[in-house]
Amino acid sequence: MLRGRDMLCFSHDWSGDPLSKTHLMRVLSRDNRILWVNSIGYRTPTASKADVTRAFKKLIAAASPIREPEPNIFILNPLAIPAYGQPRIRDLNRRLLRFQVKRAMRQLGFERPINWVFNPAAAVIAGALGEEMVIYYCVDEYTAFSGVSSRSLAELEEQLLRRADLVIVSADLLYQSKVRFNPRTILVRHGVDYTHFRRAL
């Protein structure tokens, strides 16, 4: 088990539903420090009320300081433009994210972190933060999601797959589609917290 390490985590918003990535980081945080980078988005927003409200909340959150909701888990609310189809926007996001994440790392004293990437849009920044290792943990076929630019996201994911030191997937079909880009791909199926669910029996 890893101990005494600094780790980055590019994922969904910490305040969202506790998914497998949340549980994994909670386990790792027992002996390591985690900088959880809230969602940088991979779906181009619309003019809908829900998207406008979300964008407004993101702007407000970006001005808030790093917080520690649980021991050894620090939350960063980055500012990024959720539109990755244009090279100029990708470059701008790379600069924005690198500045924000590196600043947070300095504040926390993070060095040579292990970068756990759960969001393929983080390909714009993965490997540019002085990481010792980049791990892409893929639990969904993100290019099949509605409302995303499948081509742009596929390009980003391919970059991430080729750059990653290790790729972890949770299903056979994901393994088949990712291993061709990175032979260091392994299949780890989802499990359950037996102790937690046993309480309901």
Residues of the chain below pLDDT 50: 55
Q: What pLDDT, on a 0 to 100 scale, did the predictor assign at position 102?
A: 98
CA dist., res. 74 & res. 113, Å (int): 14
CA dist., res. 80 & res. 92, Å (int): 8
Domain boundaries, the chain: 6-198
What is the maximum span of the chain, computed from C-alpha positions, in angstroms? 54
Q: What pLDDT, on a 0 to 100 scale, did the predictor assign at position 80?
A: 86
Q: What pLDDT, on a 0 to 100 scale, did the predictor assign at position 81?
A: 82
pLDDT single digits (tens) 141-170 = 988 876 666 888 899 999 999 999 999 999
Edge-first strand order for the sheet with 166-169 is 67-70, 73-76, 33-37, 6-10, 114-117, 133-138, 166-169, 185-187
Q: Cβ of 94: how many Cβ atoms within 10 Å?
A: 15
Q: What pLDDT, on a 0 to 100 scale, did the predictor assign at position 182?
A: 98
- R_g (Cα) of the chain, nearest Å: 17
CA dist., res. 180 & res. 177, Å (int): 7
Q: What pLDDT, on a 0 to 100 scale, did the predictor assign at position 128?
A: 97
Q: What pLDDT, on a 0 to 100 scale, did the predictor assign at position 191?
A: 72
* CA torsion, ordered 174, 179, 181, 183, to nearest 10 deg: 150
pLDDT single digits (tens) 73-97 = 999 999 988 776 778 888 999 999 9
Q: What pLDDT, on a 0 to 100 scale, did the predictor assign at position 17?
A: 86
**DSSP secondary structure letter of residue 123:** G
73 strand-pairing partners: 34, 70
Q: What pLDDT, on a 0 to 100 scale, did the predictor assign at position 161?
A: 98
Nearest partner of 38 among 28, 25, 49, judged by Cα: 25
CA 10, 179, 191, 135 dihedral sign is negative
CA dist., res. 158 & res. 169, Å (int): 14
Query: In the CATH hierarchy, which fold is given to the domain comprising 6-198?
Result: Rossmann fold (3.40.50)
Structure tokens that stand for 16 in this block: 């969202």
